[in-house]
Amino acid sequence: MKFSKLNKLFIRSRIPKKIIIKAIYEYIGSKNGLRTVAWKNGLTHQTLWYWVKKFRLFRESLHRVVAERRGIPEIIVVDETEIKTTQGSMYLWFALDPYNKTLLGFSITKGRSNLECLLTFRYWFKCWYRVLSLVLSSQMQGYRGMVYGILSYVVSVSKSLLSKVVYTPILNVLMPPLRVIVGFILFSTALVLSVPSMALVIFLVSLLSLCSIIISFVLIRAWDILPLVSFCLGGGIKTRHYQKITDYSDIYSGSIINYEIILKHYRIPIGYEFISTISKTNMDTYVLFYITLTDLLDNSVNSSTFSYYSDGLTLNISLIPINSPLDLEGAHYIDVQANVTDRGGLLTVEVYNTFDEQNDWKILSMEYDPSTDLYTVSILVIISSGNLTYKVRAYDLAGFSSESNITIIEFSKALAPIIIVLDSPFSSPLVLEEKAIRIRANVTDDGNITNVQFSYKFTTEEEWMVETMRYDNETDCYFFDIELPKKSGTLIFKISATDDSSLTTETEIFEINYSVEKEVNPLTYIIPLAAVGSIGLITVVLLLLKKKGLIFR
């Protein structure tokens, strides 16, 4: 074969095209040698080298012809296609002109990682210095944060093109020389500070550099300068072609049998979340529906079929009556029950309640009780007496809702005395200086406290001893002093209080591990120490006298 026949990519050959493409891909995309790749694919290394040169010459000539003769559009559509073989997969990258629908260039990579995508774009930008934007098709969500611009969700008017855009301003093309110039200016400034005599020379060089920057901008057409200014101001690239691009809020569309469905999606870090609303129906029938997801390339997929029953009727709600006025007898909750029925199935049942006249409604979810076949909820009472206003509202699967009439319940004696044990929690063990301990408690009530009792026992005892606690006006609390029978042990106690409404409150059981310190007499330690010191002193004196020979045995 002569070299003059390189005007076509694939000429008539007995070697299948898939094997040729696979061999070229393995040689370019891997570090294997020419002979190794040729041997794996059943080719000679001369044949493989011929096709590698042919591929490179075709790609370079295509890029050169497009760039020099016809020019490059401001926006280029990039599409990648995966080709699976027995040895793995490879990806073909195609650069298309969206307006003339012609091929501008292509490339082959081993994978579709961010780095391989970046290297492919870098090669194209090197050939096409005037490219403003690259448009990625096929929902390539992995290519984010690349150095060539900002990845945004913008789609073209034509549904056969794109879903994302990579903005690539001219600033990226001018960045390498600008970095050199800025570095040179900084270096010159450092020289000026170190060698003042070179200030004039450095100033002239810097002025020449600035003039070169101005000339480079003048050589660019005005419509290229405006997008650059817009990008520097934070607005991104906006060219005349960008005005033809519309931001679609409904990238996917949904459909439902005989009923309208409204899809809204919100961008979240891991994908899209769809919220659907189905119109109401007044028919007594089952509603079957499924969702169809369709992308911009008209590829669609259907979900599973779902169904629910719609009787076209509102829900039936009947409240279980509560006697009014209600004597709570110290309870802190009011139980509300309701019987809610619907043939199509219930979605939620809620109760709206308030204790004031300002209609500050609070919403609580009611739970279904299988034992009573009722929906029930316990409402916390926040006042000792007054009125509870509430209503129940329910929703079914067909979108219908119903609510009960407003009910007002008068209640009293809701709050029993409140007991707070002071100095709790107690340290363990509690070290005392005396063989007595004082227990204090703060008792409050909306009425009058008639009696406060202190029940206690020790671990060695079985029966509880009950005593009345006394009130201290200075500290505004009740107290009781206990004589401890031993130096150490465990005290168990509880406190109960009763008000004038005969409501009684009892605390939990408390345990105190205690130990009593002994009174220490200093003479107990001084006398033995003095005796030991005297004996030691006498021994030392005798040894010295013996050493001097003044005393004998």
Residue 79 in tokens? 């599409």
Check residue 68 and report its DSSP letter: I
Same CATH fold assignment for domains 316-412 and 418-516: yes
Classify residue 433 by burial, with Cβ atoms within 10 Å: 0-12, 13-18, 19+: exposed
CA distance between the termini of the chain: 129
What pLDDT shows up at residue 452?
Answer: 92
Residue 496 in tokens? 């109960």
Residue 256 in tokens? 């439902």
Q: How far is CA 540 from CA 107, 382, 528, 533, in A?
A: 102, 83, 19, 11
What pLDDT shows up at residue 338?
Answer: 92
What is the distance between the alpha carbons of residues 313 and 396, in angstroms, rounded to a whole number? 10
**Cis amide prior to 176 (ω within 30 degrees):** no
Q: Hey, CA dihedral for 205, 206, 212, 218, is it positive or negative?
A: negative
**Which of these, 414, 411, 382, 388, lies nearest to 501 by C-alpha position?**
414
What pLDDT shows up at residue 229?
Answer: 42
Question: How many CB atoms sit inside 10 A of residue 416's CB?
Answer: 24
What is the distance between the alpha carbons of residues 159 and 139, in angstroms, rounded to a whole number? 13
Q: How far is CA 3 from CA 24, 43, 51, 59, 105, in A?
A: 18, 19, 11, 16, 22
What pLDDT shows up at residue 337?
Answer: 92
What is the distance between the alpha carbons of residues 35 and 52, in angstroms, rounded to a whole number? 13
Q: Is 436 helix (H, G, I), strand (E, B) or coil?
A: strand
Q: How far is CA 357 from CA 379, 388, 391, 410, in A?
A: 17, 10, 15, 13
What pLDDT shows up at residue 263?
Answer: 39
What is the distance between the alpha carbons of residues 395 and 282, in angstroms, rounded to a whole number? 15
Q: How far is CA 467 from CA 417, 452, 485, 498, in A?
A: 18, 9, 17, 14
What pLDDT shows up at residue 95?
Answer: 75
Q: Report strand pairing: 374-380 vs 333-341.
A: antiparallel
Instruction: Out of 2.40.110.10, 2.60.40.2550, 2.60.40.60, 3.90.1150.10, select the CATH number for domain 316-412.
Output: 2.60.40.2550
| Polymer length in residues for the chain | 553
What pLDDT shows up at residue 333?
Answer: 80
Residue written as token pair 């599409």:
79
Q: Is 516 helix (H, G, I), strand (E, B) or coil?
A: strand
**Which of these, 21, 23, 22, lies nearest to 46 by C-alpha position?**
23
pLDDT < 70: residue spans in the chain: 1-13, 27-32, 55-77, 85-88, 97-102, 112-115, 118, 121-122, 125-313, 330, 344, 357-359, 382, 384, 398-399, 413-414, 425, 427-429, 432-433, 517-553
What stretch of H or E contains 202? helix 199-219
Question: Could you give the angle at the alpha carbon of 109 between the alpha carbons of 107 and 111, nearest 5°?
Answer: 145
What pLDDT shows up at residue 245?
Answer: 28
Provide the residue type at 13 as one letter.
S
What pLDDT shows up at residue 336?
Answer: 92
What pLDDT shows up at residue 548?
Answer: 58
What pLDDT shows up at residue 459?
Answer: 80
User: Are 551 and 545 contacting, i.e. CB atoms less than 8 angstroms apart?
Assistant: yes
Q: Where are the domains of the chain?
A: 3-171, 261-310, 316-412, 418-516, 523-553
Instruction: Give me the CATH code for the 418-516 domain, please.
Output: 2.60.40.10
Q: Hey, CA dihedral for 28, 30, 36, 38, is it positive or negative?
A: negative
What is the distance between the alpha carbons of residues 382 and 472, in angstroms, rounded to a whole number? 29
Check residue 284 and report its DSSP letter: S
